[in-house]
Amino acid sequence: MELHTTEIDGVRTFWVESGRPTLRASLMFRGGMADETLPTCGWTHLLEHLALHGRERVDLDVNGSVDLLVTSFDVHGEAGDVAEHLRALTTWLADPDLSDLEHERKVLRAESARRGGSAAADAMLWRYGARGPGLVAYDEPGLTRASVDALLVHAARRFTTGNAVLCFDGPPPPGLSLRLRSGEALLTQAATPCGQPLPGAYVGPDDAVCLSGLVRRSAASTALGRCLQRRLATRLRHEAGGSYAPWDAYHPVGADTAVLLAGADLMPELRPKAVSVARSVLQELMRSGPTSQEVAEDAAVVVRNYRDPFNQPGRAWASGRAVLLDEETVDVEDVLREAEQVTPDDVVEAARDVHRTLLVGAPRAARRDDSITWLDATRPAGTTSGERFRALDHPVDRSVITVSDGRVEVAGGDQARAVDLARLAGAFAFPDGGRTLVDQDGYTVAVEPTLWRNGGVLRERIDALVAPQLVLPMEPRDPQEVPRPKVTPAERWRLRLRGAIRAWWVAPVGFGALGMLVHATSGLNVLPVFVFSTVIFLGAWYRRDSR
């Protein structure tokens, strides 16, 4: 089947004749989750919902989606109905009606609440933090601050002719009219990973293992993903019987780079071995590679799928997406030639790329492997200077928050959680005063005024340091969810009294000994000085302990 290209009202259009009596179409735009920021996370999804609100029909399948780099509006039905839908949709995209904003905002909150996390999303978060591809791990916190004016600007930048492609599985309907505004393409920016040491491991979902790494975009890299999936299935499902559905995924994050992921669900008995199994599967491929027969059989499946007449319309979608990502249109013969030319050595080289940038997400029960760096959210306690706040549970809890113009640090012992304000990605703000600061690498500091002395002052200090455009208003929490001190007042006073008793003994004995020495050597009456010094000492101790 031949790939046809044309242009309709300034929009690049691709189609392949499928022979179906109905018509399927997708209007796609460059711009997805990875192009947002933490404060705007969810805006593109919100606009997609608003654009399709009320367009559902029994005889017309309508859907939309937002992935890392592309937003797609999909429709399937009679050709005339598809044409009318696209005309109405593009009219809306050129001049959005946001009167249903509050309704769709609530719908998306409900969707986020039921979505839950995933091993793949965690992998993106640990690799990229609270920016770019890492934003897939957040439940669209920007929804609360999406205003009409801000959404109109967001839509005007994305939904334009120069930033769109249109794909069909048949000839475009006669008389099709698209009403998009003119505009430029949104360029694909290279994703910036965090600076943590690699290979690394982190605690992920309790029932899964996930390994991920950066690879060059190539047929060998996608072949590696399928090899990893098959080997995980062999080890964890067929041999151990402790996994149901090992998987692999491949996500382009730049013109030349993709994130390759592979993982599996795990029964409890396999969780302690999660890291060792994942690493051994990858290391076996690095040492021995797949067999020539396995590579040939894998390529044959790729060729068969591309040659299948049922899949031929997918060429239009693949070409359209490639153009959006600043690439050449897909030539099937080139794709098949590359797949057939993959060798075991090519797969081994891709496995080495993964290992150099490896992150393993493992259950909490997984045994630690000292040959890999274990990542967590803490950092060595620094020497941050600034205003200090003690816990209400002091002296049981000796944690201290230090707030300076450039840093907020919560330290307990030799470990700390800290956020550098120059790299702040956003600040979640709860009506009860709770604040969670998130930096660009995804590190967080949670500040609950209810847990700290002078908590109201602490909240004011932090609010004054956060730029308004980075504040993410959150929904009110149930009062039971707001953290409270765990130590009873009676217990705190008992511990303070114990310290006071020690101080009462130390001060008189120390100053008494000093006074006797002075009296013996000089004959001076030092009793007033002794009493005054003791009072000053105890006052200073009480002030220090009550801050």
- 369 or 519, greater pLDDT: 369
pLDDT, average across residues 382-396: 84
**Predicted local confidence at residue 115, as pLDDT:** 78
Q: What is the pLDDT of residues 274-304, one digit of tens each?
A: 999 999 999 999 999 999 999 999 999 999 9
CB 28, CB 70: distance < 8 Å: yes
Other beta carbons less than 10 A from residue 378's beta carbon: 15
Does pLDDT of 86 surpass 50?
yes
Same topology for domains 3-117+127-168 and 200-374, yes or no? Answer: yes
**Max CA-CA distance within the chain?**
116
**What residues form DSSP beta bridges with 14?**
5, 167
What fold does the segment set 379-481 form as a domain?
PH-domain like (2.30.29)
DSSP letters along 322-362, please? HHHTT-PPP-HHHHHHHHHT--HHHHHHHHHHHHHT-EEEE
Q: Taking 90 as the threshold, does the pLDDT of residue 385 lie above it?
A: no
DSSP string across 139-177: --GGGGG--HHHHHHHHHHHSBGGGEEEEESSPPPTT--
Most confidently predicted of 182-196, 349-363, 532-546:
349-363
Would you kindly state where each structural domain of the chain is located, as residue ranges?
A: 3-117+127-168, 200-374, 379-481, 489-546
Q: pLDDT tens, 39-68?
A: 999 999 999 999 999 998 999 999 999 999
- Could you tell me which CATH class the domain 200-374 is placed in? alpha beta
| 349: phi then psi, degrees, rounded to nearest 5 | -65, -40
Tell me the percentage of the chain whose pLDDT exceeds 90. Answer: 75
Contacts of 153 (CB under 8 A, 6+ apart): none
Of the listed ranges 196-210, 220-234, 366-380, the one predicted with least confidence: 366-380
Average pLDDT score over the chain: 90
CATH architecture for segment(s) 3-117+127-168: 2-Layer Sandwich (3.30)
pLDDT tens for 367-383 read 998 889 999 877 766 66
Please tell me the distance from the alpha carbon of residue 396 to that of residue 541, in angstroms, as a whole number.
17
Q: What is the pLDDT of residue 487?
A: 72
Q: Tell me: the pLDDT tens digits for 134-144? A: 999 999 999 99
Q: In this structure, is the dihedral angle defined by the CA atoms of residues 230, 236, 237 and 243, taken in order, positive or negative?
A: negative
